[in-house]
Amino acid sequence: MEFIEYMPGVFSGWNLVVLLAGTLGGLILGATPGLSPTMAVALLIPFTFHMEPSTSLILLGAVYTATVAGGAVSAILVNIPGAPANIATILDGHPMARSGRATEALHYSFISSLLGGVIGVFVLIFFTPYLADFALNFGPSELFWVALLGVTVIGSLGSNSVWKGLFAGALGLWLSTVGYDPVVGEERFVFTDHLAGGINIIAALIGLFAVPQVLSLLESATTGHGGTMYAMENHSVWRSLLNNLRHVKELVIGSLTGIFVGLIPGAGGQIAGLVAYDQAKKFSKAKSEYGKGNPSGVIAAESANNAMVGPSLVPMLTLGIPGSPTAAVLLGGLLIHGIFPGPDLFSVHAEITWTFIDSLLVGQVLMVMFGLVMSRYSRFVTRIPNNFMAAAVIVLAVFGTYSVQNSFSDVLVMISLGTVMYFGLKAGFGPAPVVLGIILGPIAETNYQQGKLIAESGDGMLAYFCTGNVNMMLIGLCVASISYSVFTEVRTQVLKKSEVNA
Amino acid sequence: MITQRIVASGCVVAAGLMYFFGTGHEYSEAYVFPNLLAIVMVVLASIMAITADIDPKTQKSLAISSVPWIKLWPAFLVIIVYMLIAEYVGFFVSSFLVFVLLGNMYSQRVDVPFLINRCVPIAFVFLSLLYGLFVLLLKVQMPDGILF
């Protein structure tokens, strides 16, 4: 059992320090309205550039896990989700706070996050090596389709409009071609010296997530957060733990939902939380109590959004297809250290990979310990003014981007991409498909060109790229995700039209 | 809505320009992949334009949000000036000014005591933390410029 063999690595030297700091920092960042887990992880990547690969992955993983759990603080206390994954937590968490049970609600959210999160990490531990072995069968054509599948799934399933999502994904792929062609070495689309080295992944990650967030924070800065803060009562942790464990049905529903949603590339914690809440309500004998401060709602939602974390890394670590937008950013963190998803992770980089996975397990325990202590002081974190938050994020984004290659060109690219993305968000485009396109673009193009060379000496492009069981399965998945999203979008529009005309 | 079609048309034009910049080069094989992508984007943008529903009653959830220009133009100006001066003035001084300006301009209180008692000390502490993190810990050489 490799995950036991590499466990001591989590507690050695800087790894433990970084895990502790990442968990605590992640909880604080997650509790702050306006800072999403994706943005927090993106901003951290420049720091990890200077670290050892295992230490850097531990930090990113700890922040990912903790921000998802910490987002419940803001959701419960202020009725504003700290992360999209905590939207469902508001439905019963905030009513609990209104009725003087804020501390109890926070206890349930952290304990449920621990239980769901641990189950999710074990899914990661047991599924990933098998899927990685399966990926050994992949050649250039299969890897090309895998890269395209990643962009297609996030573009079609992770966006409000399937066409806008796919367009954004294709744009990301195109942006990745700026710079030098990987085979011929020809300079492409270098309209200014600042683009001579291509678009740096970290500059793109930070720009696409952080800059729009800064501008959104400034939009609402002068009007304040909104939401009313409620007082924190004294409540025994042990009583909360015992009560939480009595809600077995909600914990099982939440965990299973989170696992299933996490394994689907492109879906994220928001979907996991909402689906789990909905299912827990459906299977409840007291449906009418949901939405009025029922602990079951908090338990189902929070166990789901943390159970999603581990499985969302399964397709990312094995095939390079992120299971969530934050996992897409984590993929960028892997690539900057020269570590590529696939079977090599569990053979050549076994120590790094298993130490990272073990840190996710240990991180769940630390998250609940810090979270339960932090519950008492949460009110201060949720009240950081938007103007200072925005100022801090833009300065941090500039420093972080510059620190990667000591290049001011990267900073200019970051600001430019981010500003365009802000307008894109207003028009309904999302950053996740663009980021994934930029990350997976080189993989798609390199394998396309290698496959083309093989195909030209064989049966031709169509035969090489479109035949074979794995190719057909991957093409089928691409078509299925697009078809499903188009069908859902058309059905929603037809239903809306009939409602309006009724 | 008409604006959905305008956005989609803009995407068609942008994708067309991407294809245009990828043609007429000596090493055309280097542009095969990006040109394929540009063609795909033209097709996707065309579908967006065709399927843009012009019935406003069904479009609320897909409506394009307006940009609050009046509120945000100072922020855009500050960011542009930041980019122009950071390398020459120095990262820390320019960042300090940006932090103080944004912190003050977008606060719910805009007065001199707030500026002096809140914005300046918070900016100073934050930049000190960044100095410790980037320069001392990560040993990154930040541009000094003419100041710091």
Interatomic CA distance for residues B104 and B139, integer angstroms: 31
B63 sits in the region (left: phi over 0; alpha: psi -120 to 50; else beta) called: beta
Task: Quote the pLDDT of residue B74.
Answer: 92
- Please report the sign of the dihedral spanned by the C-alpha atoms of residue B136, residue A398, residue A32, residue A386: positive
Residue A488 near chain B (CB below 8 Å): no
| Contact indicator for A339, A74 with CB cutoff of 8 Å | no
With contacts defined as CB-CB under 8 Å, which chain A residues touch B48? 161, 163-164, 167
* Distance of alpha carbon A91 from alpha carbon B26, whole angstroms: 60
Candidates B37, B61, B103; nearest CB to A387: B103
Give me the pLDDT at residue A183, please: 77
Task: Say whether A123 sits in a helix, a strand or coil.
Answer: helix
Residue B4 in tokens? 């959905």
CB contact at 8 A, B52 and A427: no
Given this model, what pLDDT does residue A221 score? 78
pLDDT digits (tens, 9 = 90+) for A331-388: 888 888 888 887 778 888 888 899 999 999 999 999 999 988 887 776 666 677 888 8
What is the predicted pLDDT for the residue at B123?
Answer: 92
Of A167, A396, A448, the CB nearest to B45: A167
Reading chain A (502 residues) residue by residue, the pLDDT tens digits are 778 888 888 888 889 999 999 999 888 888 877 677 788 888 888 888 778 888 999 999 999 889 888 888 888 887 777 777 888 888 899 889 888 888 899 999 999 999 999 999 999 898 888 877 777 778 889 889 988 888 887 777 666 788 999 999 999 999 999 998 877 788 889 888 888 888 988 888 889 988 998 998 898 877 655 555 566 777 888 888 888 888 899 999 999 998 988 887 666 666 788 888 888 888 888 888 888 889 999 999 999 989 988 888 888 888 887 777 788 888 888 888 888 887 778 888 888 899 999 999 999 999 999 988 887 776 666 677 888 889 998 998 998 888 888 889 999 999 999 999 999 988 889 888 898 888 889 889 988 988 998 998 888 888 889 988 889 988 998 888 888 888 888 887 788 777 766 6
Compute CA distances A314 → A308, A349, B58, whole Å.
10, 16, 38
Token digits of residue A51: 């670290």
Residues 6 or more apart whose CB falls under 8 angstroms from that of A134 comprise: A318
Q: How far apart are CA A452 and CA A448, in angstroms?
A: 6
The model scores a pTM over 0.95: no
Rounded CA separation A306/A311 (Å): 10
Alpha carbon distance B85, B80 (integer Å): 9
d(CA A298, CA A291): 10
* CB pairs < 8 Å spanning A and B: 156
Q: What is the pLDDT of residue A235?
A: 80
Does residue A401 sit in helix, strand or coil? Answer: helix
**Which H/E stretch holds residue A187?**
strand A187-188
Report the residue from B34, B82, B138 with minimal CB separation from A50. Answer: B138
DSSP A278-344: HHHHHT-S-GGGTTSS-HHHHHHHHHHHHHTHHHHTHHHHHHS--SSHHHHHHHHHHHTTT--SSGG
Confidence (pLDDT) at A34: 67
Q: Under the phi-then-psi rule, with left for phi > 0, alpha for psi from -120 to 50, and beta for the rest, what region is A274?
A: alpha
Residue with tokens 């049905």: A249
Share of chain B above pLDDT 90, in %: 39
Residue A342's pLDDT is what?
79
What's residue A51's pLDDT? Answer: 84
**Phi and psi angles of residue B78, each rounded to the nearest 5 degrees, phi first:** -60, -45
For residue A430, the SS3 value is coil
In the predicted model, what is the mean pLDDT of chain B?
A: 84
For residues A104 and A93, give the distance between their C-alpha atoms in angstroms, rounded to a whole number.
9
Nearest to A109 by CA among A12, A279, A235: A235
Spatial CA neighbour of A37 closest among A57, A67, A72, A3: A67
Q: Are A23 and A367 in contact (CB under 8 A)?
A: yes
Backbone angles phi, psi at B26, to 5 degrees: -65, -50
Q: Which of A389, A399, A425 to probe by mutation at the B interface, max B CB count within 10 Å?
A: A399
pLDDT at residue number A381 = 63
Q: Flag whether residue A497 sits within 8 Å of chain B, measured between CB atoms.
A: yes
pLDDT of residue A118: 93
The torsion angle over the Cα atoms of residues A10, A14, A20 and A21, rounded to 10 degrees, is: -150
- Please answer whether residues A128 and A346 qualify as being in contact, where contact means their C-beta atoms are separated by less than 8 angstroms: yes
- Is A174 within 8 Å of B25 when comparing Cβ atoms? no
- How confident is the model at residue A502, as a pLDDT? 64
Question: Residue B34 corresponds to which tokens in the numbers above?
Answer: 């990006």
Cβ of B109 under 8 Å from any chain A Cβ? no
Report phi then psi at A188, rounded to 5. -125, 135
Distance CA A87, CA A476 (A): 32
Lowest mean pLDDT among A175-179, B30-34, B117-121: B117-121
- How confident is the model over B33-69, as pLDDT tens digits? 999 999 999 999 999 888 876 555 555 545 567 888 8
Report the length, in residues, of chain A.
Answer: 502
B62 interface with A at CB cutoff 8 Å = yes
